[in-house]
Amino acid sequence: MSIEVKNLTKVYGSQKAIDQVSFSIGSGEIVGFLGPNGAGKSTTMKILSGYISKTSGEAEVLGLDVSSNGIAIKKKIGYLPELNPLYGEMYVKEYLEFTANIHDIKNTKKAIDKVINSTGLTQESTKKISQLSKGYKQRVGLAQALINDPDVLILDEPTSGLDPNQMKEIRQLILSLGKNKTILLSSHIMQEVEAMCNRVIIINQGKIIADDTIQSIKKNRNEDQVYTLVTFKDKINEEQLMTIKGVQSVELSGNNTYSVCTKKSADAAEILFNFAIASKTIILEQKSKEKSLESIFEFLTKNA
Ligand code: ADP
């Protein structure tokens, strides 16, 4: 296992930030660590990276216990902290040289050239960090996390504050890094997690409330309901549709387009077809809608 956490607990004063957290992550996995603000994501990641100590429980990274091998772990992992703290007055190369020296890297030039190349920083490598756009600053953060060529990357909100284009670029970069590294990344952007990870661990109020592949989380939460996105030619009477047996909810989601939730046992196609005839309209388009990770996240974190 690359990361192994058992009953990990951290107490700040009288507050339990994380409470008996357990999970393990195998080599080469890209795992999304999800949870609302204050759920305990950063605390867990800081403990795993050796930046803060645990209160109780166990945490191992690459077989090393985090509480007694802080320095050895920092040498083997890459960590991008939340808010990506950088030294704005330093030049990109100067900063990377500084981080390479902290890691005691022998061939500094080679290591710097490699990360500049892999994070797409070549054009900006002679600039001062403060002169870079947010997306490029994020690349510098990733470059420092990669300077020691780590097997495990811990990325705390790697795309936070970026515009949609920059997000896409950083996601692609992380995906390419994930080809030969284990990655644990936190985020609260569901599309992002769906685009990058196979598996998610969801934490709420310091406790793990789900740990599975995105596919099975969706499947398991979908057991008794089916969502259909249907577009009628004309305006329909939503309330009338709601009264049909098997229909659980109807939500307008566009021009004459509705998201209709039916019981799995009901035949949604038949219900909608008969309803269209009775309403003297026709169905222009109809497709079944997968329950989104976003709605599952909302359901799990609000109902926990
Ligand atoms: P997340 O990363 O999921 O937003 P955090 O791990 O940052 O959550 O925080 C978990 C809880 O621990 C929050 O309630 C937060 O206020 C608290 N917390 C985090 N760091 C500290 C600290 N240094 N001192 C006291 N409380 C803290």
pLDDT (tens digit per residue) in 99-108: 999 998 999 9
* Residue range 143-163, pLDDT digits in tens: 999 999 999 999 999 988 788
Q: Whose CA is nearest to atom 16 of ligand 1?
A: 38
38 lines ligand 1 (CB under 6 A): yes
DSSP 155-200: EESTTTT--HHHHHHHHHHHHHHTTSSEEEEEES-HHHHHHH-SEE
| CA distance linking residue 79 with residue 26, whole number of Å | 18
The CATH code that applies to domain 221-303 is: 3.30.70.100
Instruction: Taking residues 58-64, report their average pLDDT.
Output: 95
Residue ranges matching CATH 3.40.50.300 in the chain: 3-213
Please determine, for residue 168, whether its predicted confidence score (pLDDT) is greater than 90.
Answer: no
Cα of 301 vs centre of ligand 1, distance in Å, is 17
Is pLDDT above 90 for 31?
A: yes
Q: Which atom of ligand 1 is nearest to the CA of 10?
A: 12
- What b/e string do you get for 137-164 counting C-beta neighbours within 10 Å, with b at 16 or more? bbbbbbbbbbbbebbbbbbbbbbbebee
What's the whole-model pTM score?
0.81
Copy the structure tokens of residue 273.
């077809």
What is the best residue among 8, 14, 15, 157 to mutate for testing ligand 1's pocket, by most ligand atoms within 8 Å of CB? 15
CATH architecture of the domain with residue range 3-213: 3-Layer(aba) Sandwich (3.40)
What residue ranges of the chain are covered by domains with CATH 3.30.70.100?
221-303
State what percent of residues in the chain have pLDDT above 70. Answer: 98
Going by pLDDT thresholds of 50, 70 and 90, the confidence category of residue 81 is: very high
Banded pLDDT at 62 (limits 50, 70, 90): very high
Interval between CA 287 and ligand 1 midpoint (Å):
42
Cβ(96) – ligand 1 distance below 6 Å: no
